Amino acid sequence: MTYLLDHLAARHLDMTKHKVWLDHSAITATFPLYNLSGQLAGFQQYKPLEDKLLNNHPRDCRYFTYLNRNMQAFWGAEVFSASNTLFLTEGIFDACRLTKRGVSAIAVLSNNPKPLLNFLTSLDRPVVAVCDNGAAGKKLAKYGTTSVTVPEEYGDLGDAPEEYVTYLLDKYL
């Protein structure tokens, strides 16, 4: 029963800051996704014991994201005002590394947050795109006022060592 809680804690999710619905029997965490008006717009389901790649059914893989039709959403709305700088990441666990440290970070759940472009450019604060290495990261980089690419040896921010997260925050805050 505690496997899911222990796993999420190891992925740096601070459950005192973020909403998450847990199904211990199915070992599933469901993260609500909100639009810019604060309305529930969908969810991302996470099953840590499943394969990352899509198999026979989308709900049978590690990540499954559902968005209400015609709604744009992101994860991290509940900590949006935690700091002056906003960090933009692809995935929830990348953003968790930052929100756990008390800063604003949102996950756009893709590398192409084009629907959020007007919102991001209207912000009166720096937006730092924290990008994975490769073509996907280069695409996300376009949406920040500045960007940083996580070194290839770490994979992504969610898997980077604490020293790198500290470096990142020292550089951009």
Q: Are 108 and 88 in contact (CB under 8 A)?
A: yes
pLDDT at 134: 82
pLDDT at 61: 86
In three-state secondary structure terms, 41 is: strand
Domains recognised in the chain with CATH numbers: 3-67 (no CATH), 77-172 (3.40.1360.10)
Give 10-residue mean pLDDT values along the chain (173 residues): 90 95 92 91 93 71 87 88 92 96 93 85 94 88 95 94 97 95
Distance CA 133, CA 118 (A): 25
4 class by beta-carbon count within 10 Å (0-12 exposed, 13-18 middle, 19+ buried):
buried
Q: Are 76 and 86 in contact (CB under 8 A)?
A: no
**What is the model's pTM?**
0.92
pLDDT at 56: 61
